[in-house]
Structure 1
Amino acid sequence: MTDLRTVPAIVVMGVAGCGKTAVGEALAGALGADFIEGDRLHPPENVARMARGEPLTDALREGWLDAIGARIASSVAEGRNAVAACSALKRTYRDRLSRFCPEVVFLYLKIDRETAWRRVANRKGHFMPASLVASQFATLEEPAADERAVTADGTRSVGDILKEIAG
């Protein structure tokens, strides 16, 4: 397993409800890294589309992925580590983010559909409705063995996930 304490950038990835933000914030705090919340970098049109229950297309994700990648690259260029929360559901999305920082490692929070749906349905104040969880799983391409990725059980507590990935 890659020692996540030694890499300049980590993208916490997975479907909606897997815990990207909670794990990402805790991991960034533990590492003294910048935390980048990918959801805050969506253009208003993307947020409105998702709020209406419409999944994003690959083309609509491009600018968003580039904004996240640019923030990661900026932190690393300034000598700071970065932890970003970003679904990064497809390999092409992860490849796009990797162009901004080739050393990035993806922390995939694997979760089942039922847990993801329940978590998203119970969230307050978030634009992503539970109706989009199925489309997230339909889009998901789990990281392949040749990718710079670590998988953790997203159904576990944040503390347990951090212990698991710390080795």
Structure 2
Amino acid sequence: MTRNTLILLAAGGSAALMLGALGFQYIGEMPPCKLCYWQRYPHIAAIVIGVSALFLSTRALPALGALAALVTAAIGAYHTGVERKWWEGPTSCTSGSVADMSSSDLLAQIMAAPLVRCDEVPWALFGLSMASWNMLASVALAVIWIMALRKA
């Protein structure tokens, strides 16, 4: 495969993942949590990098594309751990212990809680959540970006 074909494949993969996420959000009526949004930003960057790399022949752009894919994979891995309760996520999208809270503090936490929690899985396929699938797909996209970098 040529460098441009690999770049199109990698950036197109990020575009497909973004379309899938937007489909779940708007068609499937599954609003994203904070960590879901965080996973989208590197994909957007990878799409912009991919379009730019088609017009600018520089080794830096495929490297940046690979970095963007690896960043979203890392966020997906972190999000998977939050969903599986391996560790706590951001306090703005998970629930901690309420044992030591007063009733007024608990009520304040409930009223300030976001509608979409990062530690709940709204959809899974073969036991893997969307965050897990994003992680796996993004690692594959990083490999494609690296293959494009080697062709540069």
State the TM-score, normalizing by the size of structure 2.
Answer: 0.32
State the TM-score, normalizing by the size of structure 1.
Answer: 0.30
